[in-house]
Structure 1
Amino acid sequence: MLGQDDGACCAPMVREPLGEEAAAELSRMFKALSDPVRLRLLSLIASHEGGEACVCDLIGPFDVSQPTISHHLKVLREAGLVGSERRGTWVYYWVLPEALAKLSALLEIPAAAPTAAR
């Protein structure tokens, strides 16, 4: 459950309320994804061949400077959404599947969950 401190994941919020610690962790992730450049970066990394991308592959698709891309990648890394490793001159990034699983599980609507009146 998300409310527990052991990091176990994740009951949909339609089944149980979030604990304070889980809400803080998840809000950092959602806040990181609230920027269109960061959301696109995450998508580019996740869809890149081999599941990881060199920072050199991530600069071209954007109309922002390399330092700005580096800042956005740092935000994604600090939010726990991507991992990174320096290899020689370049840094490579990959999406952390467990982070996406937490976000997905939180927003999941179980088939048996009651739906709000429309």
Structure 2
Amino acid sequence: MKWYNLTDIQQLETIKEESAGQPVAIFKHSTRCSISATALDRFERNWAKNQDIKDLKLYYLDLISHRDISNKIASEFEVEHESPQILLLKNGEVVYNESHYGIDFNEILSKVQ
């Protein structure tokens, strides 16, 4: 599993372009929230158990450090800000958006395949 750090608003354009060729996920994480830590851990454990999701590119956003990027994601992709939150993009569009304990790895997997 390889996370790409999302640290610059300009990366959102790159992410949209990348999502035309492969699915891309953005995981918005609050480093101050135990629910966010649990959701991230669950996602990573499920990833480690599943080898069928190699085509998904993963971006990690520390939203405490980069709240401006989180706000831009909300406006750019027309989603309400949540934390933790995962967005799955294909062709520049959000095809899956979930937060907290609603993040479902199997549902993400079904959208990627």
Larger helix share, 1 or 2: 1
TM-score normalized by the length of structure 2? 0.30
Work out which of the two has the higher radius of gyration on C-alpha atoms and give 1 or 2.
Answer: 1
